């Protein structure tokens, strides 16, 4: 399901699909519908390739009020899993980690130094090489950043946000945890934590949108397309969580 949503929210994938559908409709001699589909595809590309549109979509996700205040200090740090390329032929290990992985793990290491509390790393066998878990490689990188081995708790489980928090819940228990993840993840992460009865604070990294909303124009670019996709993915994930929650309660 996750892979399908990622594919579906990519503007260029949708553009290709709509243009292919337009070609098929044209072969069936429906010129009017084919023309409308082409216009729709081009409109989608123009909109999704503007940085300002991505900023507008990301703003409600990334700009949020402060977290809850708890009476006790945080006991754990939890950097959520992102990605690691097991197939890349690279001269160094750092190149295998995606940008979001690097930012989350680096922030977790900083918090560990500041607070002197252990880091829980989660993430199961969802990488291209399924003999390796994300938690394993994340633990290795944290130790390379100077985090003591005894301060890293490795949980080789979790393939999405919900299952990662679920896997860490028994360790966290009734303590407070600082979750480190991409800024757009904040709203959904708090909802999942509430559902699992986890006391969670949020440390945001990997911002994609601008803080200001002054309108501006830009040439079509990859950054805008990626920001558009991230926002649409997160909105669809929020919708999925709402539907599942209501279904489970009914």
pLDDT in tens, 133-147: 999 999 999 999 999
Cα–Cα distances (Å) from 125 to 53, 99, 132, 194, 218, in that order, read 35, 20, 6, 26, 40
pLDDT at 172 over 70: yes
Structure tokens at 92: 């160094």
In a domain, 210, yes or no: no
Residues 123 and 245 in one domain: no
* Residue 166 belongs to some domain of the structure: yes
Q: Which position has the higher pLDDT, 10 or 112?
A: 112
pLDDT of amino acid 27: 92
Residue 170 domain flag: yes
Q: Are 188 and 241 in contact (CB under 8 A)?
A: yes
Q: Is the dihedral of CA 86, 90, 91, 93 positive or negative?
A: negative
Q: Is the pLDDT of residue 250 over 80?
A: no
In terms of domains, do 79 and 177 share one? yes
Sign of the CA dihedral with 57 first, then 52, 229, and 109 last? negative
User: Could you tell me if 146 and 224 lie in one domain?
Assistant: no
Pair (178, 82) in one structural domain: yes
pLDDT of residue 206 exceeding 90, the answer is yes
Q: What is the mean pLDDT of the chain?
A: 92
Residue 102 lies in a domain: yes
CA–CA gap between residue 206 and residue 180 (Å, rounded)? 10
Is the same domain home to 114 and 22?
no
Contact yes or no for 44/10 (Cβ under 8 A): no
Question: What is the reported pLDDT for 1?
Answer: 61
Q: Are strands 74-79 and 176-182 parallel, antiparallel or unpaired?
A: parallel
Q: Does residue 179 register a pLDDT over 80?
A: yes
Same domain, 90 and 191: yes
- For residue 143, being part of any structural domain is answered with yes
DSSP 81: P
- Residue 213: inside a domain: no
Range(s) of the domain holding residue 31: 2-62+220-249
Asked if the structure places residue 214 within a domain, the reply is no
* Same-domain status, 101 and 51: no
The verdict on 125 and 189 lying in the same domain is: yes
Region 11-29: mean pLDDT is: 92
User: Residue 182 belongs to a domain with what CATH number?
Assistant: 3.40.50.620
User: Are 167 and 235 members of one domain?
Assistant: no
Decide if 67 is inside a domain: no
Mean pLDDT of 168-182: 96
Number of domains observed in the structure of the chain: 2
Instruction: Answer yes or no: do 107 and 58 share one domain.
Output: no
pLDDT for position 137 = 96
Residues 52, 83: one domain?
no
Q: What is the mean pLDDT of residues 14-19?
A: 92
Whether 25 and 121 map to the same domain: the answer is no
Query: pTM (2 decimals)?
Result: 0.89
């Amino acid at each position: 399901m996750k892979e399908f949503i990622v594919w579906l929210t990519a503007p260029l994938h949708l553009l290709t699909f709509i243009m292919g559908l337009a070609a098929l409709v044209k072969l069936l001699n429906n010129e009017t519908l084919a023309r409308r589909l082409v216009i729709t595809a081009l409109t989608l590309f123009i909109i999704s390739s503007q940085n300002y549109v991505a900023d507008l979509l990301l703003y409600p996700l990334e700009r949020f009020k402060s977290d809850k205040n708890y009476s006790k200090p945080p006991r754990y740090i939890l950097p959520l899993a992102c990605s690691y390329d097991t197939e890349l032929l690279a001269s160094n290990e750092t190149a295998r980690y995606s940008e979001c992985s690097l930012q989350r793990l680096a922030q977790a290491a900083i918090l560990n130094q500041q607070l002197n509390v252990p880091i829980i790393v989660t993430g199961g066998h969802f990488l291209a090489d399924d003999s390796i878990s994300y938690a394993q490689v994340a633990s290795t990188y944290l130790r390379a950043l100077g985090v003591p081995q005894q301060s890293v708790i490795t949980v080789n489980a979790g393939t999405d946000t919900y299952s990662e928090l679920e896997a860490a819940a028994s360790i966290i228990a009734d303590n407070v945890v600082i979750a480190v993840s991409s800024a757009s993840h904040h709203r959904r992460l708090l909802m999942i934590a509430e559902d699992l009865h986890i006391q969670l604070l949020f440390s945001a990294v990997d911002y994609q949108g601008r803080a200001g909303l002054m309108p501006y124009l830009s040439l079509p670019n990859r950054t805008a397309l990626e920001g558009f996709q991230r926002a649409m993915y997160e909105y669809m994930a929020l919708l999925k969580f709402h539907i599942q929650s209501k279904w489970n309660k009914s």
